[in-house]
Amino acid sequence: MKNWKTFLGGILAGLLLTGLFRFMTLPRNQQTFKLATVTADLSPKPEATTSLVHVHVAGAVVNPGVYGLPEGAYLQQAIDAANGTLPGARTDLLNLAALLIDGQRVYVPSQDEQTELESNQRSMEIEAGGTININTASLEELVSLPGIGEVRAKAIIAYRTENGYFMTIEDLLKVNGIGSVTFEEIREYITVSP
């Protein structure tokens, strides 16, 4: 019986070795695995630098002063930077959508100042400075400018009524009927300063 067990053990061992040999020599479909790791990019990204325009906000605002605003900012943003307007401010006379330019002075008139401008300042400007404020000038004052007749004067008044104060004298070129030739004739006689 001892031979029988030895014989059976030999057969089992042979089968096991044959199976192991077969397993080791069989061709395999090897799938390769690529390990991909994602690392966060910790290098600083170059930031777009925003150009600033500095404007002086004055008049009927809570905190008058000089404010730096992003290039392309509007007049309303300058007023907001000054913490808004005081009661009685006449923002209806301003073009709140006007683009700001560096070094510009933004003046927000009050209700009281408007009355004063209408009654006294127009005549004082012509006598004292020799220039006419195109933001407050009457029809008669505008007609007194060279090359400006009644039709063009009415167009100037209509434009500022619809769009608010002129921010620069060059804004006068936006008025229908005012071309570069006419503008050059009157350039030295006009102002937008309050």
pLDDT tens digits for range 74-113: 889 999 999 999 998 888 877 787 888 887 888 888 887 6
Boundary residue ending a domain (73, 90, 108): 108
Instruction: Domain count for the chain, please give it.
Output: 2
Give the closest residue to 148 by CA, choosing from 191, 95, 184, 192: 184
E strand or H helix that includes residue 116:
helix 111-116
Last residue of a domain, one of 64, 89, 108: 108
What residues contact 54, with CB distance under 8 A and at least 6 apart? 66, 67, 68, 69, 102, 103
User: Model-level pTM?
Assistant: 0.40
Spans of the chain below 70 pLDDT: 1-2, 23-50, 113-130, 194
Q: Which residues on adjacent β-strands are paired with residue 190?
A: 132
For residue 99, give the CATH number of its domain: 3.10.20.600
Q: Identify whether residues 121 and 165 lie together within a single domain.
A: yes
Is residue 5 included in any domain, yes or no? no
Give the structural domain span for 73. 52-108
Does residue 159 sit in the same domain as residue 182?
yes
